Amino acid sequence: MKSGWKVFWLFAVVFAVAFGLERTLVPHIVPVAFADEPQPLWAVEMAFVLRALEFMAGGVAAITLSFMLVGWVRRIAHRRAL
């Protein structure tokens, strides 16, 4: 269970760092090439990469948390069965 928490917190921190960097370095940039006003290519690419990191890290953190929740429920059910 401790390794599950380590993975969860690692990816939660990666998510928070990517979220903070996106809001700090490329605010108001849409991570797609089409927008109402022209946007610099480097900003679009950076926003795309940071948003992808956010989604991947958030997904891994959510999956890890759900696995740990299932393990916790199974352990409680096993204790009650004894």
The Cα 56–Cα 18 span in angstroms is: 11
User: Which domain covers residue 50, as residue numbers?
Assistant: 2-81
User: pTM for the full model?
Assistant: 0.82
Q: Are 71 and 4 in contact (CB under 8 A)?
A: yes
Q: Are 47 and 26 in contact (CB under 8 A)?
A: yes
Q: Total domain count for the chain?
A: 1
pLDDT digits (tens, 9 = 90+) for 58-79: 999 999 999 999 999 999 999 8
Q: What is the mean pLDDT of residues 13-28?
A: 95
Q: Please, how many CA atoms are within 13 Å of residue 75, restricted to the half-sphere of its CB? A: 7
Rg (CA), the chain: 19
